[in-house]
Amino acid sequence: MDGKIALKERLAKPGPLLVGGAHNGMTGKLVEEAGFDAIWASGFEISAAHCVPDANILTMAEQLSAASWMVKAADIPVIADCDNGYGNAINVIHMVKSYESEGIAAVCIEDNVFPKRCSFYAGVKRELAPVEEHAGKVKAVLDNRKSDDFLVIARTEALIAGWGMEEALTRGRAYADAGADFVLVHSKSDKPDEVLGFAQQWDRDTPLVCVPTIYKTTTAQTLYDGGYQIIIYANHGLRSGIKAQREALATIVKEQHCSSVDHLVVPKTDVYELIGVPQMKADEKAFMPSGGANVGAIILAAGASPELGELTADRPKAMLDVKGKPVLGHQVEALNEAGIKDISVVVGYKKEAVDLPNLKTYAADESQGEVASLMEASSELDGRTLVLYGDILFDQEMVERLLQSEGDVVLVVDRSNLKGRENRDLVQTLNGEVGSGQRFLKGTRMDTLGRIGQNLDEANGEWIGMMMLSTKGATTLRQVVEELGAASGSVHEADSLATAALTDLLQALVDKGLTVNTIDTYKGWMEIDTFEDYQRAWAQLR
Ligand code: SPV
Ligand code: MG
């Protein structure tokens, strides 16, 4: 919400409005987190944070920059301490334009001359501007603000300068009569008597503001009951910070190991929360191209599909039209959307029908097994690679999840339904429960493959025909194929490497002690094996 509106709305409610001092975005955020109603962009704090006195040494631009970081960091209104307006009424006009356009809700200007001295520095030159001059600055704010919701607090330092209660009242009245939205009367007495006395004699409607730094035992409620609507706790974040940092830093120098201050520091994750790292992660996901730029894909589309009869008389399954685009076209679209542009297709049966642009093709014999087909494109297994069957349709989100997955070989496993058709690539993972129809939430599980194949006695999922290989996983996979070739003989459920399916190779990886991981899905894909599948694809594809 607009800070100005928020401040006005809060002011309309009864009770003291509590304002906490800050000097940057983080301390503004902490003021908000603590439950204050508004942030005080304190000149005292901002100066101290730069390690210079609060004496108009920082420029307006530096003070404003700190205040605008608070606006960005927090949702509660920011009230900016603008000292004496950084000069005369002409400077004030520039100040108003600058602060209002940065989303500040209110400014406070005090009747110190330029350059000022902090109200609490003892033994320094302290002079007040003539009352007419300061009233003129108040009018300059009113005349130059764009919105009446941008409030001005006029502050008198008469009590601080020792000019007495009458002078304080005269000045307060002059500023109220000039149109100030609030009058702040500052006091360095250690008792609230001065400010309460001022309020008792206050004869204007303009509400009052105070800063109980020195009369520090007086509660906000007492001050509110005494006539003050806004109470500013001006510098306690900075001062407690210095104390805590001193202790932690000295402890490290003494003990010479970081764990000596474990009890004095917040966990790093606390910092991440405060600065919005979780939001950044979500924004990366929502607004940035996904991490597929350096990932290649190999699509296996070499086999013939006699089950589909006439439909595939002149084309492989991957080129079957589903709603105006071949299956392969849908796949390429999903991969491209995830940033994967380097796509290879292993073609065989009716390979001349595979005529989509921007694809590399590798030729295999349609009678070869899947592993042999994949090896036709083995030169592509030289980095992170997504391997998938050419006859599946899938939600693009699955590609995203595979891209985000960690592990050298990661399979997508459907946990939704194990009943039904023959010839499925069944899997049994080590931690999933055995059974069918088990419902798992998408994306919540990373499991480890135990067994995979078409003839498992027990299974708890079905491989959907997509796997992500890390660079290491791709290299290992090639090495294992070489080893299996050298050893000859059967490979899991296949008689030989030449006829082995990918499931046979995956089982061989597991048998060699390599870890194959799985991530779960609950539907979100379909395979085109039969005419009924093809009909379903037409019916279900959005
Ligand atoms: C500030 O915080 O800079 C103030 C309040 O102006 S005080 O330091 O008490 O003057
Ligand atoms: Mg100040």
Residues 6 or more apart whose Cβ sits within 8 Å of residue 308: 317, 320, 528, 530, 531, 534
pLDDT greater than 60 at residue 434: no
**pLDDT at 433 (0 to 100):** 60
Q: Of the bound ligands, which one is closest to the alpha carbon of residue 39?
A: 1
pLDDT for 529 equals 87
Rounded mean pLDDT, 133-147: 98
Across 183-191, average pLDDT: 97
pLDDT-derived band at 432 (thresholds 50, 70, 90) equals confident
With 0-12 / 13-18 / 19 or more C-beta atoms within 10 angstroms meaning exposed / middle / buried, residue 217 is exposed
Predicted local confidence at residue 124, as pLDDT: 84
Structure tokens at 210: 């105070």
User: Does the pLDDT value for residue 440 go beyond 60?
Assistant: no
In whole angstroms, what is the distance from residue 49 CA to residue 24 CA?
9
- Burial classification of residue 153, based on how many CB atoms lie within 10 Å of its CB (0-12 exposed, 13-18 middle, 19 or more buried): buried
CATH architecture of 3-234: Alpha-Beta Barrel (3.20)
Name which of 72-86, 251-265, 282-296, 311-325 the model is least confident about.
282-296
Mutate which of 186, 189, 194 for ligand 1? The one with the most ligand atoms within 8 Å of its CB, which is 186
pLDDT(438) > 60: no
Q: What percent of the chain has pLDDT over 70?
A: 97
Cα–Cα distances in angstroms (integers) from residue 228 to residues 78, 177, 426, in the given order: 19, 18, 74
Q: Is the pLDDT of residue 185 over 80?
A: yes
- Ligand 1: residues with CB < 6 A are 21, 42-44, 54, 81, 118-119, 211, 213, 234-235
The pLDDT of residue 423 is: 76
Q: Are 351 and 373 a contacting pair, CB within 8 Å? A: no
Residue pointed to by tokens 């006029």: 154
* 199: CB partners within 8 A, 6+ apart: 208, 226, 227, 228
pLDDT tens per residue, range 476-528 = 999 999 999 998 889 999 999 999 999 999 999 999 999 999 999 888 899 99
* Fold (CATH) for 277-540: Spore Coat Polysaccharide Biosynthesis Protein SpsA; Chain A (3.90.550)
The confidence score (pLDDT) of residue 121 equals 87
Please tell me the distance between residue 118's alpha carbon and the centre of ligand 1 in angstroms: 7
For residue 331, give the 3-state DSSP assignment: helix
* pLDDT score of 421: 62
How distant, in Å, are the alpha carbons of 12, 179, 495 from that of 78?
17, 21, 75
CA gap 240, 318 in Å, rounded: 67
pLDDT per residue as tens digits for the range 347-396: 999 999 999 999 999 999 988 899 999 999 999 999 999 999 999 999 98
Nearest CA to ligand 1 atom 5: 234
Mutate which of 40, 54, 112 for ligand 1? The one with the most ligand atoms within 8 Å of its CB, which is 54
| 421 against 447, higher pLDDT | 447
Catalytic option among 2, 37, 54, 75: 54
**Maximum alpha-carbon separation in the chain:** 106
Rounded CA gap, 49 and 400, in Å?
Answer: 44
Q: What is the dihedral of CA 423, 424, 430, 431, to 10 degrees?
A: -140
Domain ranges for the chain, please list them.
Answer: 3-234, 243-275, 277-540
pLDDT at 125: 79
The answer, yes or no, to whether residue 291 has pLDDT greater than 80, is no
pLDDT attached to residue 309 = 87
* 226-241: average pLDDT: 98
Q: Is residue 118 very low, low, confident or very high in pLDDT (cuts 50, 70, 90)?
A: confident
Q: What is the pLDDT of residues 18-43, one digit of tens each?
A: 999 999 999 999 999 999 999 999 99
User: Picking from 56-70, 128-142, 332-346, 418-432, which range would have the lowest pLDDT averaged per residue?
Assistant: 418-432
- Whether the full predicted model's pTM is greater than 0.85, yes or no, is no
Q: Which of 112-121, 290-299, 317-326, 372-381 has the lowest mean pLDDT?
A: 290-299
Please give the number of the atom of ligand 1 that sits closest to the Cα of 110.
Answer: 6
Intrachain domains 3-234 and 277-540 with the same fold: no
pLDDT in tens, 161-184: 999 999 999 999 999 999 999 999
Is 148 a residue of the active site?
A: no
Mean pLDDT of 129-145: 98
Judge residue 459's burial from the number of C-beta atoms within 10 Å of its C-beta, 0-12 exposed, 13-18 middle, 19 or more buried. buried
Per-residue pLDDT averaged across 3-12, rounded?
90
Query: Exposure string (b/e) for 352-385, b if CB count within 10 Å is 16 or more?
Result: eebebeebebbebeeebbbbbbbbbbeebbeebb
- What does the pLDDT read at residue 442? 46
